[in-house]
A and B are shown apart, each in its own frame.
Chain A
Amino acid sequence: MIDRQQRIQALYEISLSIGPKETLEATADNALSGYLQKLNCSVGAIFQRRLEDGGIRYEVTATIPASPYGNDTLRAAIDHLPDTVDEQLSFVTELPITGSTDTGSHYYLMELPDFGVLVLGKRGGEIDEITRSALKPLNEKLAEACRSQLVEGQLRTERNRFEAVFDAIPEPVANTVVEHGEERVKRVNRTFENTFGYDERTARDRPIDDLINPEVETATDGSPTSLHDGSEPREVRCETADGVGEFLFRRVPVDTPDSREYIHLYVDITSQKQRQEELERYERLVENLPIGVYRTTPGPEGEFRLVNGGLVDILEGTSREEFQELSVTDIYVDPDERKRFSDQLLEQGSVDGVELRLQTVDGNPVWCEVSGIAVEEDGQTVFELALQDITERKERQQQLAVLNRVLRHNLRNAMNVIRGNTALLSDGIDDEELQTHVTAIEQRVTNLEQLSEKAGTVRSLFDQGREVNVTCDVNELLGELESEFEETHPSATMRIDEFDPVAIWADVRLKMALMELVDNAVVHNDQPEPVVTVSVDASETKPADSWVDISIVDNGPGIPDDERQAIETGQETPLQHGTGLGLWLVYWTVSLLGGEISIDDHPTGTRIILTLPRASGDRSPQAANVDAN
């Protein structure tokens, strides 16, 4: 028989074992041990009730022994636990449940309100009814402790999650707390440590203003704590471990029951600011360019998306905004040309140096050269274009063409008349001295005719442009040059030094230039036997793997200084000019082929070096030799 004092004592001692521990499991485990020890029970378990998917499940929180399903007493008790919500309703009303097994053990299921069920089992005896009834407040205390642990566990999980997020944020973050009117660091994340060079151990408990002292461009205090709650982010400049950095700083208040806390977030915008500054510099550059830079939509009409000041100036507008009211076709003299240009750019993806006849905002015609590309932006094609005013150049070309045509036509006609009259004059003169004057006139006429032909040749040089997509076998070229030289100058000698096979980027114009040089070497030679030597070598003045030197050496008197200086500087003056077009023809040819010309003195005469690009894989060759063109 159990006396009252013994029962009260045991219940009190059980109550000592009920209380929050580190985890829910530890709380339940400790309490269960107290129940079993003080009630001298042999087995026990605490189950947590869980509602899941419309069903109900009792999950073991603590159990003695460790394998509850191997014990017949616990198993018999567990069989009472419901599986469905309906069973649960009747189960709860039946609690506490008492039962016994075939082996004489007794078990008890008791409600743990709003948590689950406590199971106790005893072999060789029972827990008397008074004690069982007296356990009810202890069970409620146990349930409360378990519930509190559940909540605490959830809070712990939340805190762990927060800590994980805190550390995972890729921007510097500090958690501060206001103590005695001063805001001190409580935690910093790893990025903060790396960025500002303070690890958490050294940063903790220090005033945040001691660690971060930002510079701001406004007159207000720049310290982090000066930013009022709810303020918008602001840009600050702070000293970091690697120098000064730019940050977007925000101070967010955190409400806690005991203290005022803040989260300081520093978004590193150093790179972004640098990019922005670069962009601004680039925009200024584009804005101030003397050419037009603009973006349009494709199509026969087209809309302006962006224009720079250069375009506004070229098209004589008043502002960039004015172009928002215009369609692109408005600046074309011929709207069909706009359509053709748009189609070409869409088809090719890019254009280079397309000459267009446009008109200004006021309708004044203007010649322009346009280059650009078609790009995809937000799923839409946009043209990005650069426009250059070439009106003056076009007019000069027109003038040159007219002058060239008029001069050559009139010159040839005049020469024909002079040659005819000179022939008549020659027939009528017997005086030998006078005859020499007639011969001199005929020679000058011939020279003028040759000059006229050369001027035509020069024009054709430029007509072919600068683009060279053919390769030239230098050995083959020089072979042809030698044949023509022998035919033209049978009394002169041409030598070609041996050289390794080499190909260069050049077309038929190179042969013309070389012919001009070897002709000159003979025509202006004062030696009884003119000798011209041609050699081919790797370039001496430019990278040898990309450039080839073709040298022409003669045994003549050399090139007059004025002519030589004009060629070397690329310009003539009234006082400093050559005698003809020959060397200029060579100069322009080499220049159009992307090469250079230089003139050296040579022990035997003059050496002219043409430095030309070696043929390589970065251009698409279209022909193997110059004759193919």
Chain B
Amino acid sequence: MEITYDSTVEGVRETLASTAGSESVNGILLLSTPDPALLSADFESVLGDLDVPIFGGIFPEILHDGRKQETGAVTVGLPSEPVVTTVRDLSDPETAFRGLLDPDLPARGYETAFVFADTYATTIEAFIEALFRTYSVELNFVGGGAGTLEAQQPCLFTNEGVIQDAAIVATLAEPMEIGVNHGWQEIAGPFRVTDAQGSTLDTLDGKPAFSVYRDAIAEASGETVTEENFFEVAKSYPFGIGRMAAEQIVRDPYSVSDGSMSCFGEMPEGEFVSILEGDPDSLVEAAQTAHDHALSGDSDPEALCVFDCVSRVLYLEDEFDRELDALRSETLPLFGALTIGEIANDGSGHLDYYNKTAVVGALSGT
């Protein structure tokens, strides 16, 4: 497995050419930070000229060699050829996702799937549900939301170019053990979602969502959250959607308007949500748990692949280095990205779209 970091797009182009030319490489995973040069026709022609399948995405930051990088890209040469499925029109509710997925891939020996989706697409949950209904735990999934924090733009790499409003599923024969944890703890709730439209939460227990949220945080932690300081405070108090015998699924609120709250990911009407709170220690501990779970299997991994939520960086700030230390392994190379939402299962339960979660995959060779 050849892992190369380049700080410039020019360097990426050269690395892509040399990696694709390597005899031991039959596919390429490209994780990059935003750069206008990546969206040029020139770069798209580079992708189109490659004679091996390429997949990947543009993320706020990437991880390489145990450190986060705000610029550049990491190129991973994969020893086996991936089956890449591109799903377009990810915001179109009429798109029949299940019909686009080949249910026989597990029977043909494929075990792992990298999944990247345009984070601004509006039906990511439906797409992930389609993945689970098709493959269940027959494939181990790892990946997350691609794009920038600023605005929607083309953010997914394929041999056809850089695309948006889409998702990519790259299936590999190599096995991968996965650890998924977040470390956020329940401090208030549960509250019933009495009115919601997609990812906008209007009411909880029949009252304006923000007032319930504000009062609950004030009561549980003494902290005051207002519309003005919402972004700064809310990053410490996400919502949790419960599952039995598993960590709650985190939903990160990012704005408030007229008493309604917008979150990354759908807020299902009728279900219950809790308010979660984290602290640096619990989050780092969760990252360590995910790392340890990924390495607990019998396989002999060749690299660690990490998709950690960019909001954890925003929350942990300087202490994010502690999380990186927890995710790192002495003997294995580490690559990955800071994503806007994570997609993963740990091989045992339901596949979900997470927020504020650390996903660690221990990728084995063939």
Contact = CB atoms under 8 A, between A and B. Distances in A.
B83 to A, nearest CB: 16
Nearest to B103: A66
Interface string B329-366: 00000000000000000111110100000000000000
Contacts of A40: 243-246, 348-350
A66 B102 CA distance: 10
Contact of A41 (B107, B347, B350): B350
Interface string B101-113: 0011011000000
A41 B349 contact: yes
A61 interface: no
A546 B135 CA distance: 89
Contacts of A125: 245, 348-349
B295 to A, nearest CB: 16
A438 B104 CA distance: 136
B137 A43 contact: yes
Nearest to A72: B138
Contact of A16 (B129, B243, B270, B349): B270
B208 to A, nearest CB: 22
Contact of B243 (A10, A42, A43, A64): A10
Interface centre among A2, A66, A122 (most CB of B within 10 A): A66
A191 interface: no
A511 B285 CA distance: 137
A70 B190 CA distance: 38
A37 B350 CA distance: 6
Contacts of A339: none
B67 interface: no
Contacts of A127: 244
A108 to B, nearest CB: 14
A42 B134 contact: no
Interface string B77-111: 00000000000000000000010000110110000
Contact of A13 (B104, B107, B272): B272
A122 B136 CA distance: 11
Interface in A45-64: 64
Contacts, number: 89
Contacts of B349: 40-42, 122-125
Interface residues of A, number: 31
Nearest to B349: A40
Interface string A50-86: 0000000000000011110011000000000000000
Contacts of A38: 242-244
A65 B242 contact: no
Nearest to A125: B245
Interface centre among B132, B136, B243, B347 (most CB of A within 10 A): B136
B269 to A, nearest CB: 9
A33 B270 CA distance: 16
B255 to A, nearest CB: 26
B133 interface: yes
B160 interface: no
A552 B136 CA distance: 112
Contacts of A122: 348-349
Interface string A17-52: 000000000000100010011111111000000000
Contact of A10 (B129, B134, B242, B346): B242
B271 interface: yes
A38 B268 CA distance: 12
Contact of A42 (B103, B104, B106, B137): B137
A65 B135 CA distance: 5
Nearest to B352: A37
B5 to A, nearest CB: 35
A7 interface: yes
Interface in A292-350: none
A33 B134 CA distance: 11
Given A6-B244, A16-B270, A65 B103 contact: yes
Contacts of A573: none
Nearest to B272: A9
A323 B108 CA distance: 92
Contacts of B136: 42-43, 64-65, 71
Given A41-B349, A42-B350, A124-B347, A6 B133 contact: no
Nearest to B347: A123
Nearest to B345: A42
Interface centre among B107, B135, B245, B346 (most CB of A within 10 A): B245
Interface string B136-174: 111000000000000000000000000000000000000
Interface in B163-220: 190
B242 A6 contact: yes
B289 to A, nearest CB: 14
A71 B136 CA distance: 9
Given A65-B103, A70-B107, A124 B348 contact: yes
A535 interface: no
A360 interface: no
Interface centre among B103, B138, B268, B270 (most CB of A within 10 A): B138
A70 B138 contact: yes
Interface in A103-127: 122-125, 127
Contact of B133 (A42, A65, A70, A131): A65
Contacts of A202: none
A2 B244 contact: yes
Contacts of B133: 29, 33, 64-66
A122 B106 CA distance: 18
Interface centre among B106, B129, B244, B352 (most CB of A within 10 A): B244
A26 B190 CA distance: 29
A36 B350 contact: yes
A524 B268 CA distance: 128
B348 A42 contact: yes
A218 to B, nearest CB: 58
A5 interface: yes
A40 B246 CA distance: 7
Contact of B137 (A33, A67, A123): A123
Contacts of A39: 243-245
A14 B213 CA distance: 25
A489 B119 CA distance: 128
A125 B242 CA distance: 17
A30 B134 CA distance: 14
A37 B347 contact: no
Contacts of B268: 13
Interface centre among B104, B107, B135, B349 (most CB of A within 10 A): B349
Contacts of A10: 242-244
Contacts of B138: 65, 70-71
Nearest to A12: B272
Interface string B212-251: 0000000000000000000000000000001111100000
Interface centre among A12, A37, A39, A67 (most CB of B within 10 A): A37
A10 B190 CA distance: 12
Contacts of A6: 242, 244
A37 B268 CA distance: 12
B113 to A, nearest CB: 13
10 contacts: A9-B272, A10-B243, A33-B129, A36-B350, A38-B244, A42-B348, A65-B103, A65-B133, A66-B103, A125-B348
Interface of B: 98, 103-104, 106-107, 129, 132-138, 190, 242-246, 268, 270-272, 346-350, 352
Interface of A: 2, 5-7, 9-10, 12-13, 16, 29, 33, 36-43, 64-67, 70-71, 122-125, 127, 131
Report, nearest first, the 9 A-B pairs whose CB atoms are least far apart: A124-B348, A65-B136, A40-B349, A66-B103, A42-B137, A123-B348, A40-B246, A16-B270, A10-B244
Given A42-B136, A65-B138, A70-B138, 15 more contacts: A5-B190, A6-B242, A6-B244, A10-B244, A13-B268, A29-B133, A37-B350, A40-B349, A65-B134, A65-B136, A66-B134, A66-B135, A67-B107, A70-B106, A123-B348
